[in-house]
Each structure stands twice: as structure tokens, then as C-alpha cells.
Amino acid sequence: MTPVAMMLFAPFTAADYRLGAPLIVLTLFSLGILCLDLFLPARHKHYCSIPALLGLGVAAYGTWKIQQVLPASGALYAFFGTLVLDPMSVYFFYLFLAGAAVSVLISIRYLEVERESHGEFYALILFAVTGMMCMAAGADFVLIFIGLELMAITTYILAGFLRGNKRSNEAALKYLLLGAFSSAIFAYGLSLFYGLTGSTNLAEVGASLARRAATEPRNPIMLLALLTTMTGMLFKIAAAPFHMWAPDVYEGSPTSVTGFMSVSVKAAGWALILRVLLCGLYPLRVQYVPVLVFAAIMTLTTGNLAAITQTNTKRLLAYSSIAHVGYMLLGLIASDGVANRTGIRGILFYLLVYTFMNLGAFAVLTSLRRRNILGDDIDDIAGLVQRAPVEAILMLVFLLSLAGIPPFAGFYGKYFIFLSLIETGHYLLAGVAVLYSVVAAYYYLRVANAMFMRKPQGEGAPVTPPAMNLALWITAAATVLIGIFPNIFIQAANWAGTLIGPTGVAQIR
């Protein structure tokens, strides 16, 4: 009997639901928030953030329970082998939940300033996290694609959340057109892989592709499928030459949504790439590494060089996030998941660090938003140290960490990527990467220079209500603590990376 026919006759078991609990909890909470929003009077709508944070907390608890029952070296499968719970899924679950929680915290006041509805916003964030979890824990092309689309469609709406704002409209429209376009290309690749292998399960696709790649490594259909699939994935993480949507969308979206998109959505894209390229499509590694090398060098170049001339801080951070993707791509080039794992651990660790430092920088930018002041121009941050010394110093910490300067967390993120390149003998790529990180220091310090050396342009201090303060201190504490005590976090990333690779995907039942 085929797995699909099995699904028609065999019911799901309680174990399936236990393993899918974080996703189910998030879905129920977001539906609950939508209902609650209807009953709250307008001035109390911001209380919707409480069930949102509660839902994220309950999902984290569910993930923790799953982590407790996870076998020492192995994975658990649910829903007929479509959902895989392994250390990597659990690690990414925590990462998405943390990113979403901080995004909710920084959104509360921002939404009030913009006079936008609260309930739908938090519900959409929770739906997006559900989609991300499907991407990270999907062992089947169908689930991965549905997760990708659930995340993408909710983020289109979030990008255009300020309905009366022309820039937000435009960001959403651009994101939607390019996102849907890339999803269609990605789906075409998946359909060709289905045709080549006769399965949508990652393990079976991998086994079948290994046989085919051994006999005819230059099969044109196989190469076409690989190229279209990779195009779709590189679009999602905004790697060059498919990055052109990112600066526009990041600039036009609400600032708190930009923060969410630049960390959690990007991390989900990376979970997808690691899962697909290192598990399902691993037999085609010889064919896809040159593409990755090309994309990585293009990404580092465009990201770093374009950031130098930006006068809008959101746009600058958009280009900087493109550049960070370039570094992570280098880790994927160095590590194949068999002979070398440093790069994969480096990517996982980098994503953890990046989540906190980048969200922190966006939290500071969000706090600059006041009535009549957008807060995203570099002039708005000028002289911040005189208006708000604490925020200025926190922003400096985030910027130094983004630039990769010790003792902050960003340093270790870059360190493991460079280490993996040296270990595998990619000296030239390591040289290029180090060179570009010097360029990066220039544009981050330019923002710092504006904060500390220039005269303030605007009046008044940024408003930081308790939720915003909490978000600022969480991200700052994480950025500093991971930098000073990296061991425990490195161990977590090592643990998460143990099963990624061609041998990691076990057989489905």
C-alpha cells in the first residue's frame, strides 16, 4: 500500500498529535486571538499580545516536552513520516519562538502609534511561526511547501499591514509578486523531483537521486530541477542574485515586521535549505556547490558594497542582512555534513546569534518611531547618545556584534564559519570573507558615528514602554552573554547539527 493509501485507512495516533503539539497549539492560539479581538473594546485591543506571548510560551513548553523524549541519537516521525522531530527541528522551534516573542514585544507600542489593529497582527505572527515549524520539521516536499507558503502568505500581509501607508502597500505588493513568483519556480522544481524519483519523501528522494546521480550525473531534467529548486530557496533567504526584493520590502514594511522578517523568516529559509540540500538533494552536492560558491560571492559583494552608501538605517540593515546570508552560505559550501560539520554548526550558531543582535537593532529603530517621525533615516538616530544614552549604548552593542567584534556574540558566529573554511582548505573564500567583514565594520561604525558624534536633529527621547524595554534587555543580554559564555550555546548548536546530513534522515516506517 502506498503511504497515501495508508493515510486513508489508518488513523493518526496520540503520539502523532503529541509530536505535532507545538504546531497545533500555535494554530489554536492564533484562532483564539482572532476571536478575542472581536470582543475587546478598541482601547483594550493591545491585550491581545498576552495570549500571543502565552501561546508562544505553551508551544515552547511543548517543544521542551518533545526534547525530553527525543532519543539520544535519532529522530521521531509523526503523521506517516511527514513530520520529523530531530535535534535540528527542536533547535529551530526554539529559535522561531524566541524571535516571534521579541517581535511581539516590540510591536505593541508600534501598532498603537500607527493606530493599526492588534489582534490580527499577533494572530498572523503565530500563523507564520506555524509555517516556519512545518518548514524546519518537514520531511516531505508537500509539508515543506505548505509550510513555506503559510509563512510567506502571512508575511505578505504583515508587510502591508499599514493599509493607509503607500510605502507599506508597495512593500507588500513587491514582496507578494516576487515571493509568489519564486514559490512557483520552487514548486516546479519539486514537481520535477517527484517525477524523477517517484516520491515526495526526502529520504526516498535522496536514495533515488543517489542511484540516478551515479549513472547519469548530467541528466538535463535533474539539473533543471536542481536549478529551479535552488532558485526558489535562494530567493527566500535573499541571496544574490535574487536579493533585489529585500531592501525595498525591508524599508517599506512596518519596522517591527522588518525585524521579524529579517531574523525568523530568514532562519526558516535556512532550515529549509539545510533540510533540502543536505538531506534530500545531497547526492547532487557536486552539482550544487558551484552554484552556492557563485551565490555566496555575489551575495557578499552586493550586500557589503551596497550597504556603504545607504542613508536609511532600515535599508542599511537590509543590505547587512544580505551580507550575513553570504557568510552563512560559505559555511554550507565548506561543510558537507559527513567529513566536516563545523560549517553546519557555524550556520546554526550564527542564526541564533543573528536572531538576537538583529532584532535588538530593530527594537532600537522601532523605539525611534513617534508621531510624525518615521525613525528610519540615519538623521533620526543622529546624536542619540544625548537624547537616550541607554538606547545608544545598546545599539552600539548590537552594531559591534553585527560587525563581528569580540567579545560580542557576532564574533563567534563568524569565527566558526571561517574555521570551517580553513579546515576544508577553502583559503581563497576565507580571505574574501575576512576582507568583506572589514568593509562591514565601516558601515556599522558609520551608524555608531552618527549616534555618538553628530548633533541631534530631532527633539525628544524615544519612548520605551515596559514591553519594549524588556525586548531591548533580552536581546542585549543574549548578545553579550553568548559572546562571553559561548560554550553552552555552542554545545546547543553542536547538538542541533548532529543529525543533519545524508546519514541523518532515517527510514520512515
Partner 1 sequence: MLEIGTLHYLMVAAILFLIGLIGVITRRNVVIIFMCIELMLSAVNLNLLAFSRLYGLHGQVFALFIAADAAAEAAVGLGILIAFFRNRTTVNMDEVDLLKG
The position carrying cell 532550515 is: 271
Quick check: 127 binds partner 1 (CB under 8 A)? no
Q: How many CB atoms lie within 10 A of CB 8?
A: 8
Quick check: 166 binds partner 1 (CB under 8 A)? yes
Whether 239 and 329 have beta carbons less than 8 Å apart is answered as yes
Indicate the DSSP class of residue 84. E
Quick check: 177 binds partner 1 (CB under 8 A)? yes
Point out which span in 25-33, 194-202, 269-277, 417-425 binds partner 1 (CB under 8 A): 194-202
Sole binder of partner 1 in the list 17, 163, 422, 491 (CB under 8 A): 163
Cα–Cα distance, 478 to 408 (Å, whole number): 9
Indicate the DSSP class of residue 264. I
Quick check: 211 binds partner 1 (CB under 8 A)? no
Point out which span in 158-166, 399-407, 454-462, 491-499 binds partner 1 (CB under 8 A): 158-166
Sole binder of partner 1 in the list 79, 188, 415, 473 (CB under 8 A): 188
Quick check: 34 binds partner 1 (CB under 8 A)? no
Quick check: 200 binds partner 1 (CB under 8 A)? yes
Sole binder of partner 1 in the list 2, 68, 372, 487 (CB under 8 A): 2
Nearer to partner 1, 74 or 198 (CB): 198
Point out which span in 15-23, 127-135, 198-206, 371-379 binds partner 1 (CB under 8 A): 198-206
* SS3 at position 83: strand
Q: Could you write out the DSSP letters of every residue in 298-364?
A: HHHHHHHHHHHT--BHHHHHHHHHHHHHHHHHHHHHH--SSS--HHHHHHHHHHHHHHHHHHHHHHH
Cα–Cα distance, 387 to 367 (Å, whole number): 12
Sole binder of partner 1 in the list 47, 79, 181, 452 (CB under 8 A): 181
Quick check: 208 binds partner 1 (CB under 8 A)? no
Nearest Cα to 320, choosing from 310, 331, 329, 330? 310
Quick check: 377 binds partner 1 (CB under 8 A)? no
Task: Return the C-alpha cell found at 422.
Answer: 580553513
Element (H, E) at 465: none
Point out which span in 131-139, 172-180, 259-267, 360-368 binds partner 1 (CB under 8 A): 172-180
Sole binder of partner 1 in the list 74, 198, 217, 431 (CB under 8 A): 198
Sole binder of partner 1 in the list 172, 271, 334, 351 (CB under 8 A): 172
The β-bridge partners of 201 are 140
Nearer to partner 1, 312 or 340 (CB): 312
Cα–Cα distance, 202 to 191 (Å, whole number): 13
Q: Which residues contact 164 (CB under 8 A, 6 or more apart)?
A: none
Element (H, E) at 76: strand 76-78
Shortest Å distance, C-beta 392 to partner 1: 26
Nearer to partner 1, 49 or 302 (CB): 302
Q: What are phi and psi of 454, to 5 degrees?
A: -90, 160
Q: Could you write out the DSSP letters of every residue in 135-157?
A: HHHB-BHHHHHHHHHHHHHHHHH
Task: Return the C-alpha cell found at 156.
Answer: 505578505
Indicate the DSSP class of residue 311. -
Q: Give how many residues touch partner 1 by CB under 8 A.
A: 50
Site for partner 1 in 310-329 (CB under 8 A): 310, 312, 315
Specify the amino acid at residue 318.
Answer: A
Quick check: 69 binds partner 1 (CB under 8 A)? no
Whether 132 and 494 have beta carbons less than 8 Å apart is answered as no
Sole binder of partner 1 in the list 5, 214, 286, 488 (CB under 8 A): 5
Q: Per DSSP, which regions of 176-266 are E strands?
A: none
Q: Per DSSP, which regions of 113-226 are E strands?
A: none
**x/- binding map, residues 404-443, to partner 1, per CB under 8 A?**
----------------------------------------
Residues at the contact surface with partner 1, assessed by CB under 8 A = 2-5, 141-142, 145-146, 149, 153, 156-157, 160, 163-167, 169-174, 176-177, 180-181, 183-185, 187-188, 190-192, 194-195, 198-200, 247-248, 251-252, 306, 309-310, 312, 315
